[in-house]
Structure 1
């Protein structure tokens, strides 16, 4: 990884305040047309980034497990929903089910997901770099920029394009 992605973790932490301000400004302006840039920037980012080389999301944060996710994954694992919840999940401060600990218990040693085809909706949509969620939740997005190189990349490219 080169260019924008050189030392991205350090740079993301250093630029957290600027990124937060940029995202708050974009949220107030409802994206100001920048949301149209997201799909292309998302594709560009993932041409440069291989998630299996990072897995920062799976190692540090948890998706929300909604009822359909719990039903689907429990069935896939051959567990009763209550056993799945008791074994793998806890309620967070927002009342959402999340994994009990990090890294995710479904993350394999090679950074693949043991339940990939059944993974929660939050995992399917992460890192939200191709949707308007990117601007709707500025706090989450700028925090994600320190976890996911794709979020950092998209933020940097957006700031350069729309300032």
Structure 2
């Protein structure tokens, strides 16, 4: 991954947006699994953890129930201690970085982490195309998203 990927991700926002909104959807969807694998074969999330340091997943009720059980605390205590309601009415972490992120960039609740964490950065899902604003934001946080979008641009002839 090139050193200035963050700067490039910001500079390419318009091109990404145009591609995601106007590009050949079926072609992009067909390529996502391969591009996702390719990106993650080169990127070590444990060296990065920018997602955990900068974003919060949504904690859905099943996540809260499961995580509280694993931590052996009441669901209400989990919410009070770690979460808050955001403007969309979703539970998210009270602050960044995520309180479950360890010093070595591992996750203290990895096996029981929220669905958003499991799926992030959605580079192998149609979410990449459906939620353009989220994808554009993720491109500036996650080097894998940046890598996938750059390859998609090349495939679209940009």
Shorter-chain TM-score bucket reads over 0.9
Task: Report the Cα offset of residue 33 of structure 1.
Answer: 2.5
1:103 pairs with one of 92, 97, 114: 97
In the other structure, the counterpart of 2:56 is 62
Equivalent runs, 1:69-88 vs 2, <5 Å? 69-88=63-82
Q: Does the CA-based 8 Å contact 2:19-2:156 persist in structure 1?
A: no
Task: Report the Cα offset of residue 21 of structure 1.
Answer: 2.0
Q: How many residues align?
A: 157
TM-score by length of 1: 0.93
Q: Does the CA-based 8 Å contact 1:34-1:158 persist in structure 2?
A: yes
In the other structure, the counterpart of 2:10 is 13
| Per-residue CA distance 1:69-118 (angstroms, 9 max, x = gap) | 00000000011000000000000000000000000000111111010001
User: What is the Cα-based RMSD across aligned positions, in Å?
Assistant: 1.1
TM-score by length of 2: 0.96
In structure 2, stretches of 5+ residues that fail to align are none
In structure 1, stretches of 5+ residues that fail to align are none
Q: Does the CA-based 8 Å contact 1:12-1:152 persist in structure 2?
A: yes
| Per-residue CA distance 1:42-92 (angstroms, 9 max, x = gap) | 000011100011101000010000000000000000110000000000000
Does residue 23 in structure 1 map to residue 20 in structure 2? yes
* SS of equivalent to 2:117: helix
Q: Distance in 2 between matches of 1:13 and 1:52?
A: 23
Does residue 37 in structure 1 map to residue 31 in structure 2? yes
In the other structure, the counterpart of 2:88 is 94
Task: Report the Cα offset of residue 24 of structure 1.
Answer: 1.9
Runs of 4+ in 1 over 6 A off after TM superposition: none
1:149 pairs with one of 115, 134, 143: 143
Does residue 125 in structure 1 map to residue 122 in structure 2? no
